[in-house]
Amino acid sequence: MSSLLEARGVVKSFPGVKALRGVDLRLGAGEVLAVLGENGAGKSTLMKALAGVQAADGGEFLMNGDPVRVDTVRGAMAAGIALIHQELNMAGNLDVAANIFLGREFRKFGLVDDERMRREAVTYLKMVGLDVDPAVEVGTLPIGKQQLVEIAKALSVDAKVLIMDEPTSSLSQTEAEQLFVVVKDLVSRGVSIIYISHRLSEIVQIADRVTVLRDGENAGELAGDEITHGKMVQLMVGRDVDRFYQRTQHELGEVALEVKELRTTAYPEHAASFQVARGEVVGVAGLVGAGRTEMLEAMFGVMPALGGEVWVQGEKATIGAPREAIAAGLALVPEDRKTQGAILDMAVLENASLASLKRDARKGAFLNREAEEALAEKGIKDLSIRTPDAAQLVRYLSGGNQQKVVLAKWLAMKPKVLLLDEPTRGIDVGAKQEIYGLIEELAKQGMAILFVSSEMEEVMGLSDRVLVMHEGEVAGELKRGGITEEQIMSLATGGVSQELKV
C-alpha cells in the first residue's frame, strides 16, 4: 500500500527522559491506524511531533513521499496534519464558529465577520453530525460535543490526516459510538486517522491496523484479523494480562456509607439514596449528565447539596467543604485531573502527600520530609508511576501517569469510604489491572468503595453491585453475577427496569 504519511527515525528527548528513540510510522490513505502503548511509551510525544506542537529532535517526515517540515503547527497544517489534543484545547468563552476559525477569522472591512463564520461553520458541523447553533459558547456544550467541534475545526483546515489522542477518554458510551460513526464517515471521504486509546475494545472495532510503542521504540504491528485483545496486550506489556477483573468473595461488613435523599443542582427535584457496606465495591453507571459527578461532589462538599444526608459508619456527617468530608473519612478522586486532581507545577512528591500532610507527614506545623518521601515512593511503586524521580514536576509526566499520581494521593489517605470518579481514565491496560488489584485489596481490608465509570466493562467487571443512575435518581440496582450491558443501558436511559431489587 502506498503510504500517505510516513515518519522515519523520530527521536525526542526531555530532561532525564528519552521519550522517542527512533520511531517509524506509516499511514495509508483512508486508513484508521491505532497507536498503542503503555503510559509514558511516547504516543502523545510522537503525535505532538507529527502535528508540529512540539518539534522532534530528529527524524524524517514524508507526505505522499515528499519530505515535509512539521516543526511548527502551521507547517503541519499546511501539510494537512491536524491534532485533536488529549486534553481539550478550546476557548470555552468563544462561540462555536469563533473556535472553528480561530486564527483564520473571516473579515469584512477589517472587522471580524461573525455572520459569515457562523454560516460557514455549519458546513463543517454537518460533516461531524453535530447539530448545534454555531453562535453558542463552546464552554456550555458537553465534552463530547466540544470534541466534535474540535474535529470540525480540523476539517475546516482541510486536514488529510486527523490525529486523535485519547478522544474517548472523557466520553460516554453513546458519545463514543457517535464519534465512531463520524470517524467511519471521515474515512469514506478519504481522511486518514491516527487513533490513540487505552480502550482496546474500541480499537478492535475501528482500527484497520495497529502499531505498538514500547519505551519510545516500535514494538510491533497488527493488521486485520490479528487485532485481538490478547495480541495487543501482549505487544504493549510484553506479557499476558489475564484474569483482568479478579474479584474474590469476601464477607461484607456493616454499612460504611449511607446516602439519604441526596439532591444536587443537576436535578433539583430528584433525590438519590443508597448504601455501601464495608468491603464492598459499588459501581455507578449511567449516561453522561445523569448527575453522577454532581452526586459525588455534593457528598464530598465540593458544591453544596440541595438536601439530603450522608452517614459514615453510622454517624451523620456535616459536610460543607472537602476538608470536612476528609475528616469524616471520605476521599474523592475527582473526574478532571488537570483542574481538580493534580497540581501540575509541583513535584510528584508534593502532589502525592498533599492530602495526607496534615495527618501523616508533619511534626507540629513542620513538614516531615522522610514521611513524605516514604509516601511518594510507595505511590510510585504501588502504581508503577513512570517518572525519573519523585522531584519531577507532574506537568512533565504522560497523561496516564498524571492520573496515577492523583490516585496515589488518595490511596495514601486510607479513607473509610473511597469515592472515585472515572478512576482509570487514560490508564493503560497493565496499570489498570494493577489498580483493580489495589481496589480489591483495599476492599478486602474493609474499605467501602464507590466508583463512577463510563466504561461498561469496568463497571461490570469490578463491582459487587451496580447502581444505575438516571436523572439524579438511582434507577436500579444490579447484583454481581446478574449484570448485563443491556440491563444497564435500559435502566440508564430510563427504560422499564428489570432489576433485581434487593
Partner 1 sequence: MKKILGILITLVAVYVLTAMVGDNFLSAYNQEKLLERTALFGILSIGVAFVIITGGIDLSIGSVVCLTGCGLPWLMVKHEWPPAIAVPMVLVVAALIGLSHGLLITKLNLQPFVVTLCGLLIYRGLTRGFTEDQTQGFGGEFSGLRAVANEKISLTAEFGIPWTWVILVVIAVMAWIFLNKTIYGRYLRALGNNEDAARFSGVNTDRMIILAYVFSSMLAGLGGMLFVMNVGSAQPSNFGNFYELYAIAAAVLGGCSLRGGEGTILGVVIGAAVMRVLYNMINLVTWIPTHIEFAVVGAVILVAVISDELVKRAAARRRVRG
Instruction: By CB under 6 A, name the binding residues for ligand ATP.
Output: 14, 17, 19, 37, 39-45, 386, 396-401, 426, 428
CB of 184 to ligand ATP, least distance (A): 24
CB of 37 to Mg ion, least distance (A): 9
- What is the C-alpha to C-alpha distance for residues 320 and 80, in angstroms, rounded to an integer? 51
Contact 496, 490 (CB under 8 A): yes
Partner from ligand ATP, Mg ion, partner 1, none contacting 134, C-beta within 5 to 8 A by type = none
CB of 81 to ligand ATP, least distance (A): 17
Closer to ligand ATP by Cβ: residue 53 or 474: 53
The upper half-sphere exposure of residue 478, i.e. CA atoms within 13 Å in the direction of its Cβ, equals 28
Enter the C-alpha cell of residue 322. Answer: 472537602
Pairing mode, strands 307-312 and 315-317 = antiparallel
Tell me the residue number closest to Mg ion, measured at CB: 44
Q: Which stretches does DSSP call E strand in 133-280?
A: 161-165, 192-196, 209-214, 217-223, 255-263, 272-277
- Contacts of residue 306, defined as CB under 8 A and 6 or more positions apart, other chains included, come to 263, 264, 265, 268
CB of 39 to Mg ion, least distance (A): 7
Neighbours of 322 (CB within 10 A): 17
CB of 169 to ligand ATP, least distance (A): 9
The 10 Å CB-count burial string (b at 16+, else e) for 72-93 is ebebbbbbbbbbbbbbbebeee
3-class state of residue 94 by DSSP: coil
- What is the C-alpha to C-alpha distance for residues 201 and 396, in angstroms, rounded to an integer? 29
Closer to ligand ATP by Cβ: residue 37 or 134: 37
Please give the C-alpha separations between residue 362 and each of 74, 242, 261, 416, in angstroms, as whole numbers.
Answer: 50, 41, 38, 21
Enter the C-alpha cell of residue 159. Answer: 486536514
Partner from ligand ATP, partner 1, Mg ion, none contacting 41, C-beta within 5 to 8 A by type = ligand ATP
Partner from partner 1, Mg ion, ligand ATP, none contacting 311, C-beta within 5 to 8 A by type = none
Partner from Mg ion, ligand ATP, partner 1, none contacting 101, C-beta within 5 to 8 A by type = none
3-class state of residue 463 by DSSP: coil
Closer to ligand ATP by Cβ: residue 386 or 470: 386
CB of 299 to partner 1, least distance (A): 13
Closer to Mg ion by Cβ: residue 44 or 487: 44
Closer to ligand ATP by Cβ: residue 208 or 217: 217
Indicate which single residue of 4, 44, 141, 279 sits in contact with Mg ion (rule: CB under 5 A): 44
Closer to partner 1 by Cβ: residue 97 or 355: 355
Among 380, 436, 426, residue whose Cα is nearest residue 403: 426
Neighbours of 39 (CB within 10 A): 25
Restricted to residues 388-417, the positions that interact with Mg ion (CB under 5 A) are 399
Closer to partner 1 by Cβ: residue 316 or 358: 358
Closer to ligand ATP by Cβ: residue 353 or 401: 401
Binding site for partner 1 (CB under 8 A): 13-15, 57, 300, 302, 321-323, 326-327, 332, 334, 339-346, 350, 354-355, 357-358, 361-362, 365-367, 409
Partner from ligand ATP, partner 1, Mg ion, none contacting 401, C-beta within 5 to 8 A by type = ligand ATP
